[in-house]
Amino acid sequence: MKTEDTPFEGGPMDGRVLPVLTGMTGHPPRTYRIPVPDPHGGPPTVLVYRRVPRDPGGRVGLTRRWKYAYDPGGADAGRPRWPWSGPQPRPDATPGGKPEDTDG
């Protein structure tokens, strides 16, 4: 696998550059999670970094270089948001009224 030296901004990893594995497209993953063990034996703390373009410029929409920015919330913002997976219930597929009703 190929790696790319990727800088980290913000949080405890600020200023560090780590080799990050790239995918089939040549891009590093959208989120990078770093588990930090708890010194008292509790559950580990997970630091979340999001991939952002390193230097804007060049062709519009094409970025070859990336960096990771610290995301203190760590929410799953990178997941696809499908219309049917929202908090609202699915609309009923059957129209109201009796099936033999022609007027509705």
Distance of CA 21 to CAs 4, 6, 10, 32, Å?
6, 10, 21, 11
Q: What is the pLDDT of residues 75-90, one digit of tens each?
A: 655 566 666 665 555 5
Q: What is the pLDDT of residues 32-52, one digit of tens each?
A: 998 989 889 889 889 999 999
What is the reported pLDDT for 65? 84
Nearest Cα to Cα of residue 32 among 22, 43, 44, 42: 22
Q: What is the pLDDT of residues 91-104, one digit of tens each?
A: 555 555 566 656 65
> Rounded to two decimals, what is the model's pTM?
0.64
**Token match 């009224």: residue?**
97
